[in-house]
């Protein structure tokens, strides 16, 4: 049912999970949670898929169902592969493969070999990818698994396409498609047509490529398989560029609409947060196991005390010391994982800003520029009836020009070039220079920032100052703002002071907004401190200090 109708699969999985809970069958509940996640995955809702996968993992902590756990780990590996978190994807695949290997589960091992091979394709290690696909194929042939063989053939065809070995690629892809047609597997048939379309496109046989993509889309649209449609529209847009710009633009718009719905920053951030929670809980579980082991050994130590007080006392002291050392090491590791998780979340936010900025600048911005050029060229071919019509046309060109400028402005604000090229002081100055001084007068003082700082420190401090300034403009009613950035031997001190209406710092509601929470959490990530000094009618001072580690 999964590969025929995702909505029906989802509804059946939800009902099944409710029944399994009544029957007190946690392994089946976890399996059905996985299928609910899978239905969201194929519909392109990766954040929802992640929620259900990690719900399944939470259930599996308390029950012995290794095969089910391996299946969930495989889906998590596929999810992180899709979001291009390749190292984390391989971590999930390796854990799944180890479980299947221990269970002597050939089907599971063959699946992992195929799925993890794609990660090595993305890493451009085609030799390792081919090795894994052929190892999987050997297992499928031993099992006489036609569906599994078709998937291995398809993966091999894909990697040979990337190597421009089109003879081998076409052979494997056509073999895969024939098997899938014999099995009447419409989902796999859609994938096969899509892969053949890409191979023919890379070979320059565009008519054949379009035919294959249309066959793939005819199935994907019925199934609402968002990710496959996204890939197909992208390649059709590239092909159409060569002869039909209007059609290319249409496919590009369809692709962008799907991409925005699938890969939004909030969704990626939620996936990152779920993984951070999972990794932290793993470390905490290790800490509990260590405590249980220590407790067991302490009982043995108590028995030795009855034999000899002196020997037992010495042994107890030694063991307590080791106990404290082990606990401290595990606690330090948990804190380290939490820091890594926080850094990953902030990096995910910044990467999403970079992606959106690049999309605006290189995609939409270039299209708008092209439209302006086309309108300007079109002006020479138009005979205007009167001056009013000419003025209206000029206004249209002016509006397109303003849109181009606005797109460039937004993309630069999301990821300013000055921050990448010149550093924190230049980026802050560039940001402030764009604010109309008729709205608010801003004074900036910088000192000691001649040398570049760590990129994380620069990025986080820039976002904090940006957030502070936006808060002042939106909420304070101030007409004067003083900002200072000073680096010395102790670290970096930043102050943002306005003469606005201020607020009561004892009122907790002011600290529950996203803006102030973002400021506090970002500064805490840098091991720094932030203080707010304000009162009604007397303006606001934000004082930040960030230490510099060697």
For the CA atoms of 349, 258, 193, 113, the dihedral, rounded to the nearest 10 degrees, stands at: 20
Q: Is the residue at 70 inside a domain?
A: no
Last residue of a domain, one of 207, 236, 263: 263
Q: Is the residue at 201 inside a domain?
A: yes
pLDDT tens readout for residues 32-61:
998 888 888 877 787 888 888 889 999 998
Q: Is the residue at 302 inside a domain?
A: yes
Average pLDDT of the segment spanning 257-277: 54
Domain enclosing residue 323, as ranges: 268-415
Q: With bands split at pLDDT 50, 70 and 90, how would you rate the model's confidence at 364?
A: low
Last residue of a domain, one of 209, 240, 263: 263
Query: What is the reported pLDDT for 439?
Result: 81
Residues 340, 441, single domain; the answer is no
Residues 494, 537, single domain; the answer is yes
How far does CA 490 lie from the centroid of its chain? 35
Instruction: Give the total number of structural domains in the chain.
Output: 3
Q: Is the residue at 52 inside a domain?
A: no
Q: Is the residue at 51 inside a domain?
A: no
pLDDT tens readout for residues 322-362:
778 877 777 777 666 666 665 666 666 666 666 665 555 55
- Read off the tokens for 185: 């597997």
Least confident among 249-258, 453-462, 492-501: 249-258
Residues 255, 274, single domain; the answer is no
Residues 356, 468, single domain; the answer is no
Q: Is the residue at 399 inside a domain?
A: yes
Last residue of a domain, one of 220, 245, 263: 263
Site of tokens 């009982």: 299
pLDDT tens readout for residues 463-487:
888 888 888 888 888 999 999 999 9
3-class SS at 529? Answer: strand
**Per-residue pLDDT for 445 more than 70?**
yes
Q: Is the residue at 348 inside a domain?
A: yes
144: left (phi over 0), alpha (psi -120 to 50) or beta: left
Residues 401, 496, single domain; the answer is no
Q: Is the residue at 452 inside a domain?
A: yes
Residues 259, 319, single domain; the answer is no
**Per-residue pLDDT for 3 more than 60?**
no
Average pLDDT of the segment spanning 246-254: 80
pLDDT tens readout for residues 145-165:
999 999 999 999 999 999 999
Q: With bands split at pLDDT 50, 70 and 90, how would you rate the model's confidence at 418?
A: low
DSSP string, 244-282: -HHHHHHHHHHHHHHHHHHS-HHHHHHHHHHHHHHHHHH
Residues 280, 408, single domain; the answer is yes
Residues 244, 259, single domain; the answer is yes
Residues 221, 330, single domain; the answer is no
How far from each other are the two terminal CA atoms of the chain, in whole angstroms?
57
């Amino acid at each position: 049912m999964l590969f025929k109708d995702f909505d029906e699969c989802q509804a059946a999985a939800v009902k099944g999970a409710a029944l399994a809970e009544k029957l007190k069958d946690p392994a089946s509940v976890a399996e059905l949670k996985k299928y609910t996640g899978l239905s969201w995955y194929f519909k392109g809702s990766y954040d929802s898929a992640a929620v259900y996968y990690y719900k399944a993992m939470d259930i599996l902590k308390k029950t012995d169902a290794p095969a089910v756990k391996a299946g969930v780990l495989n889906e998590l590996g596929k999810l992180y592969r899709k979001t291009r978190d390749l190292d984390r994807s391989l971590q999930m695949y390796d854990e799944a493969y180890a479980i299947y290997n221990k269970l002597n589960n050939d089907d599971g091992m063959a699946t992992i070999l195929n799925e993890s091979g794609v990660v090595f394709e993305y890493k451009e290690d085609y030799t390792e990818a081919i090795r894994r696909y052929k190892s999987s194929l050997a297992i499928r042939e031993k099992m006489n698994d036609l569906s599994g063989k078709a998937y291995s053939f398809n993966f091999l065809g894909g990697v040979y396409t990337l190597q421009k070995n089109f003879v081998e690629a076409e052979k494997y892809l056509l073999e895969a498609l024939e098997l899938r047609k014999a099995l009447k597997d419409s989902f796999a048939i859609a994938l096969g047509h899509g892969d053949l379309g890409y191979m023919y496109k890379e070979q320059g046989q565009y008519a054949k490529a379009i035919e294959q993509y249309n066959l793939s889309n005819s199935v994907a649209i019925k199934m609402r398989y968002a990710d496959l449609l996204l890939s197909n529209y992208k390649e059709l847009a590239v092909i159409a560029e060569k002869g039909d710009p209007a059609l290319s633009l249409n496919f590009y718009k369809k692709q962008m609409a799907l991409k925005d719905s699938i890969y939004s920053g909030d969704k990626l951030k939620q996936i990152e947060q779920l993984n951070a929670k999972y990794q932290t809980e793993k470390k905490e579980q290790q800490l509990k196991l260590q405590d249980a082991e220590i407790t067991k050994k302490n009982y043995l130590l108590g028995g030795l005390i009855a034999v000899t007080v002196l020997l037992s006392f010495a042994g107890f002291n030694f063991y307590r010391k080791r106990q404290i050392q082990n606990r401290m090491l595990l606690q330090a590791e948990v804190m380290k994982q939490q820091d890594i998780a926080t850094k990953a979340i902030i990096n995910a936010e910044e990467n999403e800003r970079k992606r959106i900025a690049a999309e605006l600048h290189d995609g939409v911005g270039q299209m708008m520029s092209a439209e302006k050029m086309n309108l300007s060229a079109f002006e020479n071919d138009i005979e205007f009836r009167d001056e009013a019509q000419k003025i209206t046309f000029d206004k249209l060109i002016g509006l397109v020009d303003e849109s181009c400028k606005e797109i460039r402005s937004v993309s630069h604000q999301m990821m300013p070039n000055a921050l990448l090229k010149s550093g924190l002081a230049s980026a802050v100055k560039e940001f402030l220079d764009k604010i109309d001084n008729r709205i608010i007068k801003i004074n900036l003082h910088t000192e000691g920032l001649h040398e570049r700082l760590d990129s994380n420190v620069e990025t986080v401090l820039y976002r904090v100052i940006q957030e502070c300034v936006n808060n002042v403009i939106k909420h304070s009613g101030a007409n004067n703002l003083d900002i200072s950035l000073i680096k010395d031997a102790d670290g970096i001190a930043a102050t943002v002071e306005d003469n606005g209406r201020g607020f009561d710092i004892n009122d907790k509601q002011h600290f529950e907004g996203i803006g102030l929470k973002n400021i506090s959490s970002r500064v805490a990530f840098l091991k720094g401190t932030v203080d707010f000094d304000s009162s009604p009618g007397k303006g606001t001072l934000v004082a930040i200090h960030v230490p510099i580690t060697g």
